[in-house]
Each structure stands twice: as structure tokens, then as C-alpha cells.
């Protein structure tokens, strides 16, 4: 490991790649594409990214980074304040806790892990959103969002896997 200032700065920059890439995905999802409800992809992409990095490089996606990313999704999407922050902290906790069962296994096992953790996140999201709005909100949007996330996971995971070598410390 380099001890020069330049080496330390380079290592810090590499360590920031997971958060920066996650933020990029969220911001890209928030752009106005002219599609109805296209900004709903931001929480899904944040969830996939936090799950992925929490399994494969948890030291580069600490709980604080997941929380900050969730707060940014909350602010940008206009959703209940703190809801995505809470959900992403729970996703980080669940994915990090299942790291041994998921890391180094087949892609299908990782995808199944995402499917299960994201389903739990959808339930938590529904519960707290219902509390926030003081009424049981419709579950269809969350089911659709979960289905979209499950379908998008392979593409996003491949993209994140291609980013992973950039995080190797020099």
C-alpha cells in the first residue's frame, strides 16, 4: 500500500467509487426522460447498489454511506423523509450479514439473495410509508417496483461488477 500523499489520495478516491457510482445511478434515474414515473427507478437502483456493494465490498459501502444515499433519494424523490435512508440501512445490514452465504457463489444465488432482501425492503417501505400517510397505501406500486428491481438486477450488477476492479487499492 502506498504511503505517499498521492498514493493515499488515490486510495481514498478508489474507496469512494461505490458511493459515487451509486449516487450516479440515483441521479441518472432522476433525469426527466419523459416517461411516466421514471424517477421511481432511483430507490430501486440505490437498493441494488447498496445490496451489491454490501455483499462484495462492505468496507466500501458502510452503513453511513447507505444512509446518506437513502437521504439523497428521499430529498430528490420527495418521499417521506428518512424512509429510504432507513430501508437502505436495513438492506446494508441484511446483505452484510449474509455476505458469507452470498459472496463467491453463483450469480443466481446473488440474484436470489437480492430478491429476498429486496422483498423485505419492500415490506418495510410499505409499512413505514403507510404509517407516514396514516393509511394503508396500495401495495401495487411496491410490487411493481420490486419486480422492476428484480428484472434490472442483472444489468446493474454486471455494471457494478465492472466497476469493482477500480476499487482495488494500489
Of residues 100 and 41, which shows the higher confidence score? 100
Average pLDDT value over all residues in the chain: 89
Distance CA 1, CA 18 (A): 20
Which of 71-75, 109-113, 162-166 shows the lowest mean pLDDT across its residues?
162-166
pLDDT tens-place string over residues 64-106: 999 999 999 999 888 888 999 999 999 999 999 999 999 889 9
Work out how many domains the chain is built from and give that number.
1
pTM of structure: 0.91
- Where in the sequence is the domain holding 149, given as residue range(s)? 5-167
CATH code at position 118: 1.10.1760
C-alpha to C-alpha distances, 99 to 26, 59, 88, 131, nearest whole angstrom = 24, 12, 16, 31
Amino acid at each position: 500500500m502506498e504511503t505517499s500523499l498521492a498514493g493515499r489520495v488515490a486510495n481514498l478516491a478508489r474507496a469512494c467509487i461505490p458511493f459515487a457510482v451509486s449516487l450516479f445511478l440515483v441521479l441518472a434515474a432522476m433525469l426527466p426522460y419523459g416517461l411516466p414515473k421514471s424517477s421511481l427507478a432511483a430507490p430501486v437502483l440505490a437498493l441494488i447498489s447498496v445490496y451489491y456493494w454490501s455483499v462484495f465490498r462492505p468496507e466500501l459501502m458502510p452503513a453511513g454511506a447507505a444512509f446518506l444515499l437513502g437521504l439523497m433519494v428521499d430529498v430528490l424523490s420527495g418521499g417521506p423523509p428518512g424512509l429510504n435512508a432507513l430501508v437502505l440501512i436495513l438492506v446494508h445490514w441484511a446483505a452484510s450479514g449474509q455476505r458469507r452465504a452470498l459472496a463467491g457463489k453463483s450469480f443466481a444465488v446473488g440474484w436470489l439473495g437480492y430478491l429476498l432482501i429486496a422483498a423485505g425492503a419492500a415490506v418495510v417501505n410499505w409499512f413505514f410509508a403507510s404509517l407516514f400517510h396514516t393509511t394503508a397505501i396500495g401495495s401495487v406500486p411496491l410490487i411493481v417496483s420490486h419486480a422492476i428491481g428484480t428484472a434490472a438486477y442483472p444489468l446493474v450488477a454486471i455494471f457494478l461488477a465492472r466497476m469493482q476492479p477500480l476499487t482495488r487499492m494500489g
